[in-house]
Amino acid sequence: MDDVVRALAAVHAPLTSPAERLAATRLLEVFKLGAAEQLGAVLALAGPERPAHERHFALHALVALVRARWPALDAARREEVKSLALQLVAAVGERAEASFVVGAAVTFVCELAKREWPQRWPPLADELLALGRRSPRHAALALECLASLSDEARVFALDELPESRRTELRKGLEAICQDVAAFAHGA
């Protein structure tokens, strides 16, 4: 993990030479590709005590894992990643966080939901709304996750989701509309 931290520092340092920046970027890309095998290190980088740029990178590594390797993960690892997503969103909501970290956390949950909800992750909406009851920050995060998923379900979204999957997502969102409205109005 020390190599990754040094590579992140090199990428973000303005005086890093182009050759060093390229080497650091390559190391980070290799790390992201191996995120499934290095989940512990990724989670350590996502910890609340880490600098924002490290947490942001860790969340992007998790998004890359979901986008590139989700079908290849076994069921137990998938469940672990889904559970971790909600834990990370809860942690992000605990304090004022850089908007780029919040955005990466929302993207992570949305990428999982696009693949799993509502069929293989039925409690997601309830879990997000329960999380949202913790604080105004958590409420904003929960609603951002659902809004991002709603954007993905639209016909004109840039993602290449099959129309049948978009329909499943729209039906799932329609089914929770009253719960979300009640949550938003403080019921």
pLDDT digits (tens, 9 = 90+) for 131-141: 999 999 999 99
Rg of the chain on CA atoms, in Å: 17
* pTM of the predicted structure, to 2 decimals: 0.92
CA distance 42 to 57: 9
Residue 151 CB coordination number (10 Å): 13
What are the pLDDT digits (tens) for 63-115? Answer: 999 999 999 999 999 999 999 999 999 999 998 899 999 999 999 999 999 99
CB 145 within 8 Å of CB 180 = no
Tens-place pLDDT, residues 12-22 = 999 999 999 99
Report how far residue 8's alpha carbon sits from residue 183's, in angstroms, rounded to the nearest whole number: 39
Residue 140 and residue 93: Cα distance in Å, rounded?
Answer: 9
Residue 160's pLDDT band (cuts 50, 70, 90): confident
Model confidence band, residue 155 (pLDDT cutoffs 50, 70, 90): low
The pLDDT tens digits of the residues spanning 20-54 come to 999 999 999 999 999 989 989 999 999 989 999 99
The pLDDT assigned to 186 comes to 81
- Comparing 162 with 133, the larger pLDDT belongs to 133
Which residues does 83 contact at the CB level (< 8 Å), separation at least 6? none
